[in-house]
Amino acid sequence: MANAKRCSHCGAVFPGNLNVCPYCGRKYKKPLSSRWWFIVLMIVGGLFLIMLIGTLLGELGKPDVRSPEEIAETEYMEVTVDDLYDALLANQLAAEDTYVDAFVAVTGELSYIDANGEYIKISGSTYDMMCDIETTEVLDKVKTLVIGDTITVKGQIKSIDSLGYYMDIEGIE
């Protein structure tokens, strides 16, 4: 039977030209998955799910940019690049408790400016620290600096791992 149908009630297979199962007498109904409205509903639902996931992933990558008023009111913990790395080497767990989510003013020597304007590096006597540029105001300030300048970057440390600190810059002095 090339064009056979299967009864959804008793499971019997019968010729495709019949609309009633010859074994149990029930009317043949197309499976839900072969109805046009079900297929359209699945496509729309899938597109919605893709858009939702894309939106959520897009939000994860966005920086938390604070207003100038919030930045002005923030009290920053004054540290040097070497202070941060000494704490990291002494006890990474304690350094994480102390510095993650903390607002810090880190002083060091500008040692690298990324050509794409995504980050800078500041150095202490022994260690380097990468700082992400998140706003056009910070990027404009970086454009006025030269390698070797002693600067203080202000911002929030987002995370720590064995390689170092990850910080978003809110301002440069």
CA dist 145 and 64 (Å) reads: 25
Burial bucket for residue 74 (CB in 10 Å: 0-12, 13-18, 19+): middle
- The tokens 């919030």 sit on which residue? 70
User: pLDDT at residue 37 above 60?
Assistant: yes
d(CA 150, CA 133): 17
pLDDT tens digits, residue range 136-147? 889 999 999 999
Q: Do residues 76 and 87 lie in contact, with contact meaning Cβ atoms separated by under 8 Å?
A: no
Instruction: For CA atoms 137, 142, 144, 150, give the dihedral sign.
Output: positive
What is the tens place of the pLDDT at every residue in 4-33?
888 888 888 888 888 888 889 888 877 777
The confidence score (pLDDT) of residue 73 equals 83
Q: Is the pLDDT of residue 62 over 60?
A: no
SS3 for 28-97 is CCCCHHHCHHHHHHHHHHHHHHHHHHHHHHHHHHCCCCCCHHHHHHCCCEEEEHHHHHHHHHHCHHHHHH
Determine the pLDDT at residue 64. Answer: 61
Averaged pLDDT, 64-75: 75
pLDDT greater at residue 141 or residue 57:
141
For position 39, what pLDDT does the model report? 87
What average pLDDT is seen over the chain?
86
The phi, psi pair for 97, rounded to 5°, reads -60, -35
Q: Pick 138 or 2 by higher pLDDT.
A: 138
What CATH number is given for 68-172 in this structure? 2.40.50.140
pLDDT in tens, 115-158: 998 999 998 888 888 888 888 889 999 999 999 999 999 988 88
State how far the Cα of 54 lies from the Cα of 49, in Å rounded to an integer: 9
Burial 21-53 (b: 16+ CB within 10 A, else e): beeeeeeeeeeeeeeeeeeeeeeeeeeeeeeee
Predicted pLDDT at 65: 66
Report how far residue 161's alpha carbon sits from residue 130's, in angstroms, rounded to the nearest whole number.
13
> DSSP code of 5?
E
pLDDT, average across residues 48-73: 74
- State the residue for tokens 């903390």: 102
For the stretch 75-103, pLDDT in tens is 999 998 899 989 988 999 999 999 998 99
Domain ranges of the chain: 4-59, 68-172
Is the pLDDT at 107 greater than 70, yes or no? Answer: yes
- Residue 168 has a pLDDT of 86
DSSP structure class, residue 168: E
- Within a 10 A sphere around the Cβ of 130, how many other Cβ atoms? 16
